[in-house]
Amino acid sequence: MFRRLHRAVQDYFGFSVSEARGFLVLMGIVVLALLAPFALDLWPTHSFEPSQADRRQLDTLLAGLEIKAAETRPAQPYASRNAELREDEAPEVRTARLFTFNPNQISSEQWQQLGLPRWLADRILKYRAKGGQFRKKEDLLRIYDFPEETYQRLEPYIQLPNGKAVRLDDPPAVESGPAFETPALSPPNPKPAPKTIFTFDLNTADTSELKRVYGIGSKLSARIVKKREEFGGFHDLNQVREVWGLDSVVVEELFKHATLRSPQLRRLNVNTATFEQLRHPYLKFYVARAIIAYRQQHGPFGSPNDLLNVKVLDVKTLEKLTPYLEF
């Protein structure tokens, strides 16, 4: 039969003897592969099921092991066998001691004395280390996961001088009991001392002058000077709002003292500047490349409006950039 099939394949396809033999072997493998799943489904399977006697013996053995474990385990009232609390995960129980405090000054230990868990106290200190300050009592609720009930309990004891935050490097002053104010003795109808407000030029002030402004420390003063150098000088006081970490309260305080007496700006000549010289916070690198490419193709620019022909430069950016340009 195999020879007849071999000859039929050889005659029909025009195969040689070896090619016909290989074709038949390959077809046999394909047929076996197709029939294998059906054969496996029909193959009898035997699942193991323990007898009733074996089950009783296993139950007896498990019961004996549980009894021995219960005898050796120390008694733990109110503890669940499936969910036992590890010692290192047990919550720390503290007795809160309330006292008047300034949230900008007290340490982690003092926060914990007030009843806060250690992780929350450390989170407050990290917030302060990054420049965060509490200017009013409700600012405590800005701390992530600070409980509302804890704030309500501590609110009568929070003291912020004049409703403002104090500098973080001031020495902490913590009282152990409720605060009592002693009326100061003063002569009748005292004349208020005249206030003298110091001023400085924002384009020439150094960090020591900037730190005289209430709310500005070493980090913020350094950032203001750095931003001024990146701009090439300030042409508008509102540009300080672009300094990272400078909130609106500090900006308003800065405006009381800062002036722009003689704004001397570092200007960019868009007709002669190279790509490196066109670096500016308001000018992204791809816009600078487009300006140079347009200048090379169409010639020099005559006015700021000519720059609008550079399609990637929008009107808002051009308005901010114009004080720094020359033609």
Which pTM value belongs to this model? 0.42
Mean pLDDT, residues 12-25 taken together: 82
Q: Are 50 and 36 in contact (CB under 8 A)?
A: no
Among the listed residues 137, 246, 144, the one whose alpha carbon sits nearest the alpha carbon of residue 202:
246
pLDDT value of residue 165: 44
CA 237, 240, 241, 247 torsion: positive or negative?
negative
- Is residue 312 within 8 Å of residue 293, measured between CB atoms? no
Please tell me which residue, 278 or 166, carries the higher pLDDT value. 278
Say what the pLDDT of residue 27 is.
Answer: 87
Q: Is pLDDT at 218 greater than 90 in this prediction?
A: yes
Is the model's pLDDT at 171 over the cut of 60? no
Inter-residue contact 319 to 313 (CB < 8 Å): no
Using a pLDDT cut of 70, give the percent of the chain over it. Answer: 73
Q: Rounded mean pLDDT of the chain?
A: 79
Q: pLDDT grade, residue 25 (50/70/90)?
A: confident
Burial class (CB in 10 A: 0-12, 13-18, 19+), 103: buried
Q: Minimal CA–CA distance to 224: which of 235, 211, 214, 142?
A: 211
The answer to whether the beta carbons of residues 307 and 256 sit under 8 Å apart is: no
Comparing 70-79, 157-166, 280-289, which segment has the lowest mean pLDDT?
70-79
Q: What is the reported pLDDT for 253?
A: 93
What is the model's pLDDT at position 258? 94
As a whole number, mean pLDDT of residues 274-302 equals 93
List the Cα angle 286/288/292 in 5-degree steps. 115
Given a cut of 80, whether residue 47 has pLDDT beyond it is: no
Domains of the chain: residue spans and CATH: 98-179 (no CATH), 200-259 (1.10.150.320), 268-326 (1.10.150.320)
**CB of 129 closer than 8 Å to CB of 108:** no
Residues 222 and 206: their CA atoms lie apart, in Å, by 9
Higher-scoring residue by pLDDT: 262, 162: 262
pLDDT at 188: 55
Residue 176 DSSP code: S
pLDDT of residue 309: 93
pLDDT tens per residue across span 227-239: 999 999 999 999 9
* 299 — pLDDT class (breaks 50, 70, 90): very high
Q: What is the pLDDT of residue 87?
A: 40
Give the residue from 303, 216, 205, 200 showing the smallest Cα distance to 252: 216
What are the tens digits of pLDDT across the range 98-112? 889 999 999 988 989
Res 180: pLDDT? 44
For residue 283, which of 254, 251, 252, 307 has the smallest C-alpha distance? 307
Structure confidence at residue 261 as a pLDDT band (50, 70, 90): confident
